[in-house]
Amino acid sequence: MDLDQILSEPNFLSWFGRDDYGRDIFYRLIDGFLNSFEIILFVTIISSVTGVVIGIFSGYFGGRLDQCVRYVTTLFMSFPGILLAIAFAAILTPGKFNLVLALSIGGWVGYARLARAQTVLVKNLEFVKASESMGSSHTWIITQHIFPSLLTPLIVEATYAVAGLIIAEASLSFLGLGLQAPEASWGGMMRDSVRFLLISPHYAIFVGLSIMSLVYCVNFFGDYLHRKWDIKNEG
């Protein structure tokens, strides 16, 4: 810890200045990014796989199962935004694994709704009907016809979901429910920086700008994919 450097303003040696322990904010942001990346990667894998499997089964087979899934998804969606994640982060001990768990609990719902809507749509198209009448098995239809048709909207959905997750993860850390002190996280840095807003606004501004630009880029990429593949809003 370097006492002279505490909260020092940006200069050539440390581009974004230093934080309240004299650490370089730029390198701290990189550490935080790597942590966020790891968490968001796992959340995305877990929630997309769960969501898509549930969505396809519910849309393809319909009936009781479908009603059940629809009820559960509407139920989960009645907890606005990160409320569900807050609830579960509150009862679990803070840490990387539990953070992934808390974010995944609400995360699968969007994927499930999308997969279900798309499956219902594709299931009734002629080529699937034709394949069915030629005696294809359910497994064949799902893996060869339905899943490929799902892939592009899914990737776009995942891109937007990642943008949401960056903010959600940072929000949880901001509230003190995410990664804890020695570990770097963008939300945690934001929380620290607000305390020093009066004396060193550069801390808050650089952390905030980094989060914002990342979210902006991911959203922009999502928009690009959306336009490129010309996806209609379904479900």
Partner 1 sequence: MKNNFSIIILSAFFQVLGIFFITFMILHLLPGDPVQVMLGESAAIADQEKLRVELGLDQPIYKQMINSFVQVMQGDFGNSILTRTPIKERLISAMQNTYMLAIFALFIALFFGIIGGIFSAKYKDTILDKIITNLSLFFISIPHFFLGPLLMLFLSIWLGWLPVSGMDSPFSIVLPAFTLALGMLAIVIKMTRNCMIEIMNSDAVRTARAKGMTEWAITIHYVFRLVLIPLITIIGMQFGSLLSGAVITETLFSWNGLGMLLVNSIQMRDYPITQACIFVIAISYVFVNLVTEIFYKLVDPRMRDG
Chain contacts with partner 1 (rule: CB under 8 A): 71-72, 74-75, 78-83, 86-88, 90-93, 167, 170-171, 174-177, 187, 190-191, 193-194, 197-198, 201, 204-205, 207-209, 211-212, 215-216, 219
Q: Smallest distance, Å, CB 27 to partner 1?
A: 20
Q: Smallest distance, Å, CB 229 to partner 1?
A: 20
Strand-pairing partners, residue 15, are none
Answer whether 71's CB lies under 8 Å from 113's CB: no
Our CB check for partner 1 shows the closer of 93 and 124 to be: 93
Q: Smallest distance, Å, CB 143 to partner 1?
A: 33
Cα 212 to Cα 107: distance, rounded to the nearest angstrom: 21
Q: Smallest distance, Å, CB 135 to partner 1?
A: 38
Q: Smallest distance, Å, CB 8 to partner 1?
A: 19
Our CB check for partner 1 shows the closer of 140 and 220 to be: 220
Our CB check for partner 1 shows the closer of 41 and 75 to be: 75
Q: Smallest distance, Å, CB 108 to partner 1?
A: 15
Cα 56 to Cα 59: distance, rounded to the nearest angstrom: 5
Cα 111 to Cα 117: distance, rounded to the nearest angstrom: 10
Our CB check for partner 1 shows the closer of 142 and 204 to be: 204
Nearest of 197, 173, 193 to residue 185 by alpha carbon: 173
Q: Smallest distance, Å, CB 100 to partner 1?
A: 16
Our CB check for partner 1 shows the closer of 125 and 212 to be: 212
Nearest of 54, 57, 226 to residue 152 by alpha carbon: 226
CA 162 to chain centre: 4
Our CB check for partner 1 shows the closer of 72 and 231 to be: 72
The 3-state secondary structure of 67-117 reads: HHHHHHHHHHHCCCCCHHHHHHHHHCCCCHHHHHHHHHHHHHHHHHHHHHH
Answer whether 119's CB lies under 8 Å from 66's CB: no
Our CB check for partner 1 shows the closer of 85 and 150 to be: 85
Write the DSSP assignment of 124-172 as a string of letters: TSHHHHHHHHTT--HHHIIIIIIHHHHHHHHHHHHHHHHHHHHHHHHHH
